[in-house]
Structure 1
Amino acid sequence: MPESKRALIIKIGAIGDAIMALPLARELKRKGFTVTWVAGTEITPVLGLVPEIDEIIRVNQHSLFGNIFSAAFEIVRTWFKLLRTWPDEIFVLHGDYRYSFLVPIWFPRSRLSFVRAKTRRHHTFEYARLAFLESEDNELKFDPYSLNSTQPRLPRTVCLFPGGARNALRDDPLRRWPVDSYVELTKHLIEAGFKVTISGGPSDHWIEPSFTSLKNKVEWAVGQMKLPETITFLQTQSLAVTHDTGPIHLASMAECPTVSIFGPTLAATVAPLRFQHLAVELDPKLPCQPCYDGKNYGICTNNLCLKELSPHTIFKKITAYFQTT
């Protein structure tokens, strides 16, 4: 029996970016590759749920972007972990060339493929197309990656993620719909008879004071679930609502319908590729939208692109969805 080809994927994070890259692993597996993924510590619990990934090598992203000595140590440590790997194909899924330093110097550079930076095509396509010839681009259609579940969805349940838009390397407050808007939306949902859960990661406890008056009326789950547990929980929910942040992609993995709220980023490039996903943006858009170029945002002190989307507008989108299901 011939030995399988080996593929090396370097995608450190963040959560949403890594999940959007999962179809690449699936397509490589279909082509007979053994897949090794170099990932940041934050996303490895999610990647561990993916059977198409044969080996995960963890990188401490704090060290990688610390001082020059900690970065050099982390790079060399990663090289040693890859000693047993001799890949036929290498995929660096970052536009920043510095991530290519994680590829051992003895690996042939002719086998490297880099994701394109600053395109307006969906990130999933930009990642997955690397496994195919350029001439096949127009023929490719990629389904989002999902985990099968037999759990029934609980009726009229909505999970909100008011925090997020923060990872080990940066905080992106311009992506967040205002927390006060989430509070008003929660009130609308409760009055309409929905069961509401407020969720988020350990770094999202800052939202708690805003929900003080509602905590006895909602399920409070901020900081209480790890990422795999969040996916399992979302498999039971009727709908997830958030802005451009990792949980919309966790919901996509859970095949949970979503309403996502976009402002400075372009929904067409990152929103879940599901028919049960609704991306909400200002219509018409502001002249400055979108201002995110893949690395930086425009200079902004008011964030009108998100503030102008009212809680009532989002509530109407949610009720319209439930009326059609």
Structure 2
Amino acid sequence: MNPHYNDESTYRAKMDFSSRLKTNIIKITLTLRAMFTRIAQTVLFRKYNNPKTILVHRIGTFGDSIVALPAVASIKSAFPNAKIDFLTTYATPINLSTIIENGYFDNIYLIDKKNRQNELKKLKHHKYDLFIDIPQKYGLYKNLRNMLLARFFLGIPSAFGWDSGMTKLFAKTQMEFMPPKREIDRFLDMLAQNGITPKLEFPIKIESNDVLDEFVKTHSKDKMIAFCIGTNVSANEWVIENWINLAKPFIDAGYKIALIGGEQEKSKGEQISKNSENILDFCGKLSISQSAYLLKNCNLAICHDTGAMHLSYAVGTKTIAVMSSRQFYTKWAPPQNLGVVIQKTLECSGCFMSQCPINHECMTNIFTEEVFKTAISIISSSPNAL
């Protein structure tokens, strides 16, 4: 069922001929892609049978890695006695290898794209029984290329994954009538189709330090709100004035604010925190595992569409995602029991641009009053609300 409409009849009534035509084209496109992928997998690989050695492949950024964690947990649970290695790239300094709990993989291999062939040659000698691709949004060419690499270059007899997942075709129509599945669910469904029981678990490495231990002891979780102010995509950014203005009603209501961000957010953190002693600036001061600890000890987190947003709900903290409409929010939204998305739909929604060429209305139309009211509503509905 489409999340934008309460019943099927309303959903159908909203669709004009053009929308029906476009949705049918999208369905046909995705069906043909899936069919081709299944045929290629069937031809190239045999079904796995009690694998003793497994190679799991996943690339992507911080957020891409967190949404893959339930899939990793499911694989580990399904094959508790197998040797499981993990393969990723150096594309980003923060990847799954840096955030997962110890003990999930026997070995982690980081492949440098410039030296990919030599690095992959080293893996041939492991003679893996099974290759599992936790799929990124590849096209058909890359999917087929990676299948051929797994089968003939690495010599792995069994493999699955490579779900193409989405198309950018008629993005605005997709947003309204057939938004893509959440990435977490897409991965778990892929595993279920291949005989692995899905588990919605996030095995994130959580660590503290003396400063955080003291902070948690002296501040009530019920009165602590996290602002995750970082983003690497300018089109996703809610300007600093909004964060400053949002902090004011929280502080007036007796809350304290913890600012979370990387080195690149240090200047913003200083500008926001100078306005009140009740705003505590942790930007550039914490590792990912320490940020996870801090988020776990907050009542609520308000975030950009970024890795910290995924980290927040992954540690069980209620999360508000302030999202641009540049892409499909349903792919990256927090699970419904742990989060709310605030997003504005415009004519230019689904542009997939990293930098807005006009006036960034999808973010400027998100006002601090709406975010604050949403936050108080979530806090008030919590079983532990004051």
Structures share a fold, TM > 0.5?
yes
Q: Quick one: distance in 2 between partners of 1:212 and 1:196?
A: 9
Offset, 1:197: 0.7
2:87 to 38, 49, 54: 38
**RMSD of aligned Cα (Å):** 3.2
Equivalent residues, number: 298
Structure 2 match to 1:115: 163
Offset, 1:130: 2.8
Structure 2 match to 1:173: 234
Runs ≥4 residues deviating over 6 A: none
Q: Deviations over 1:15-57 (max 9, x none)?
A: 111111112112222322543222344222202x164434322
TM-score (structure 2 length as normaliser): 0.68
Secondary structure class of the residue paired with 2:320: strand
Q: Quick one: distance in 1 between partners of 2:149 and 2:242?
A: 41
- Alignment partner of 1:226 is 2:287: yes
Aligned-partner residue type, residue 185 of structure 1 = L
CA 1:304/1:55 → structure 2, altered by over 3 Å: closer, same or farther? same
Q: Is the 8 A contact 1:162 1:242 kept in 2?
A: yes
Offset, 1:287: 2.0
Summarize the alignment of residues 133-212 of structure 1 with structure 2, pairs less than 5 Å apart: 133=193, 143=200, 145=202, 154-164=221-231, 166=232, 172-208=233-269, 210-211=271-272
Secondary structure class of the residue paired with 2:200: coil
- Alignment partner of 1:15 is 2:62: yes
Structure 2 match to 1:302: 359
Aligned-partner residue type, residue 242 of structure 1 = C
Structure 2 match to 1:86: 128
**Kindly, what percent of the aligned residue pairs are identical?**
16
Larger Rg: 2
Summarize the alignment of residues 311-322 of structure 1 with structure 2, pairs less than 5 Å apart: 311-322=368-379
Q: Is the 8 A contact 2:202 2:315 kept in 1?
A: no
Q: Is the 8 A contact 2:301 2:317 kept in 1?
A: yes
Summarize the alignment of residues 267-282 of structure 1 with structure 2, pairs less than 5 Å apart: 267-282=329-344
Q: Quick one: distance in 2 between partners of 1:131 and 1:162?
A: 34
Offset, 1:238: 0.6
Q: Is the 8 A contact 2:69 2:203 kept in 1?
A: no
Secondary structure class of the residue paired with 1:198: strand
Q: Quick one: distance in 2 between partners of 1:278 and 1:240?
A: 11
Q: Is the 8 A contact 1:36 1:55 kept in 2?
A: yes
Q: Quick one: distance in 1 between partners of 2:281 and 2:355?
A: 34
Q: Which runs of 5+ in 2 are unaligned?
A: 1-48, 168-179, 207-215
Q: Which runs of 5+ in 1 are unaligned?
A: 65-70, 167-171
- Alignment partner of 1:288 is 2:348: yes
CA 1:227/1:206 → structure 2, altered by over 3 Å: closer, same or farther? same
Q: Quick one: distance in 1 between partners of 2:203 and 2:315?
A: 6
- Alignment partner of 1:217 is 2:278: yes
Q: Is the 8 A contact 1:163 1:207 kept in 2?
A: no
CA 1:117/1:300 → structure 2, altered by over 3 Å: closer, same or farther? farther
**Which has a greater percent of helix?**
2
Q: Quick one: distance in 2 between partners of 1:127 and 1:247?
A: 20
Q: Quick one: distance in 1 between partners of 2:273 and 2:74?
A: 46
Aligned-partner residue type, residue 251 of structure 1 = S
Offset, 1:274: 4.5
CA 1:81/1:214 → structure 2, altered by over 3 Å: closer, same or farther? farther
Aligned-partner residue type, residue 86 of structure 2 = W
1:6 to 26, 31, 53: 53
Offset, 1:157: 0.6
Q: Is the 8 A contact 1:20 1:144 kept in 2?
A: no
Structure 2 match to 1:131: 191
Offset, 1:147: 5.3
Q: Is the 8 A contact 1:231 1:251 kept in 2?
A: yes
Offset, 1:213: 3.5
Aligned-partner residue type, residue 300 of structure 1 = P
